[in-house]
Amino acid sequence: MTITRIDSLDDPRIDSYARLTGRQLKSVINPGDASIICESLYVIQLAARLGLAFRSVLVDERHLQRLLDLIPSLEDLDIPIYVASREVMSGIVGFRVTRGYLACVDRPRPASAEDILSSSSRIAVVEGLVDVSNMGALFRSAAALGVDGVLLAPTCADPLSRRSIRVSMGTVFQVPWAPAPPPWAGGVFEALRAHGFESVAMALDDRAVPLGDPSLAKADKLALFFGTEGTGLTEEVLASVDRTVIIPMSHGVDSLNVAASSAVAFWELCARPRA
């Protein structure tokens, strides 16, 4: 560990924090160079506890000692710890949320779809979810409510984007996720059937049953499909799932944001104790 002071937001040593885009951090051309940004002390602590490979840390100078007290393992790493004044730190997007704690770590590799399917009984399959905040919220609910893994369609936002990690409170590091088996969507349904999953879509259609239908919870393996914020799941997916379900609602409300609906579905079908 080497402690280095940063006196200007223009210092190239903090490009990863201040200037590089999510695509640049992802390093599509050279995936081995890819990194992610962890924001907030809690998320950095979780990353350290899970053994993620740190590249550097950037911290408000007032919080350096607290950082080292709470994550003593940083002292054994051959990485720079950058310290900066509140004025410098305040120029970095999200400062009020991070409270002056950031870390750059190697981008974790996703799991394989085969590993998730072969070891799980409750999974989420997500199509077209492009809002990174909703992606992070879905992962946080998945972690809290007993979802074993998540499969993502090619049209989804990156769950390891900066904001998604922050909104998820780092749970994107804990819930296994993988790109769905190609091609979309035929490949994922073929894989689900091969592993004995019943596929269930959250959708408003004539054949939908209430989420609390007892037969749903009795299924040995369930794959819960969630769609994009605007139009929901595509016709291809709706035509291929085994069943569709709805959340009964009041006051004329016909749908919930995907972050809310996924939490309700995860509680009902993954976490709720059964008699």
The H-assigned helical ranges of the chain are: 15-18, 22-26, 41-49, 64-70, 86-89, 95-98, 113-119, 132-144, 162-168, 186-194, 214-218, 235-240, 258-266
pLDDT tens profile 160-189: 999 999 999 999 999 999 999 999 999 999
| Residue-number span of the structural domain to which 132 is assigned | 113-271
| Whether residue 208 sits in one domain with residue 75 | no
| 53, 72, 106 - which closes a domain | 106
d(CA 81, CA 230): 42
| Whether residue 164 sits in one domain with residue 249 | yes
CB atoms within 10 A of CB 32: 7
Q: Which phi-psi region, left, alpha or beta, contains residue 232 (left: φ > 0; alpha: ψ -120 to 50)?
A: left
| Whether residue 56 sits in one domain with residue 123 | no
| Whether residue 118 sits in one domain with residue 240 | yes
pLDDT tens profile 243-266: 999 988 898 887 888 999 999 999
Q: What is the CATH number of the domain that holds 75?
A: 3.30.1330.30
| Whether residue 155 sits in one domain with residue 25 | no
Instruction: Provide the domain count of the chain.
Output: 2
Does residue 112 contact residue 178 with C-beta atoms inside 8 Å? Answer: yes
| Whether residue 137 sits in one domain with residue 259 | yes
> Which residue in 52, 48, 120, 58 sits closest to 95, CA to CA?
58
| Whether residue 211 sits in one domain with residue 191 | yes
> Which residue in 5, 9, 33, 168 sits closest to 93, CA to CA?
9
pLDDT tens profile 60-92: 999 999 999 999 999 999 999 999 998 888 887
d(CA 78, CA 56): 9
| Whether residue 97 sits in one domain with residue 217 | no
| Whether residue 239 sits in one domain with residue 144 | yes
What pLDDT score was predicted for residue 94? 59
Predicted structure pTM score: 0.93
Dump the DSSP string for 95-135.
HHHHTTEEEEEEPPPP--HHHHHHH-SEEEEE-S---HHHH
| 106, 133, 164 - which closes a domain | 106
- What is the arithmetic mean of pLDDT over 100-125? 96
d(CA 73, CA 66): 13
Rounded to the nearest 10 degrees, the angle between the axes of helix 132-144 and helix 258-266 is 10
| 48, 77, 106 - which closes a domain | 106
3 state SS of 37: strand
| Confidence grade of residue 274 (pLDDT, cut at 50, 70, 90) | low
| The two structure tokens encoding residue 241 | 């799932």
Cis peptide before 183 (omega within 30 of 0): yes
What pLDDT score was predicted for residue 229? 77
What pLDDT score was predicted for residue 108? 95
pLDDT beyond 90 at 225: yes
| Whether residue 20 sits in one domain with residue 39 | yes
Q: What is the CATH number of the domain that holds 223?
A: 3.40.1280.10
What pLDDT score was predicted for residue 21? 79
The alpha carbon torsion through 232, 265, 110, 199 (nearest 10 deg) reads -70
| Confidence grade of residue 220 (pLDDT, cut at 50, 70, 90) | very high
| Whether residue 129 sits in one domain with residue 63 | no
Does residue 233 contact residue 227 with C-beta atoms inside 8 Å? Answer: yes
pLDDT tens profile 4-63: 999 998 999 999 998 887 877 876 557 778 999 999 999 999 999 999 999 999 999 999
pLDDT beyond 60 at 95: no
d(CA 123, CA 204): 21
Q: What is the DSSP letter of 269?
A: I
What percentage of the chain exceeds 90 in pLDDT? 76
| Whether residue 127 sits in one domain with residue 261 | yes
pLDDT beyond 70 at 135: yes
Does residue 64 contact residue 3 with C-beta atoms inside 8 Å? Answer: yes
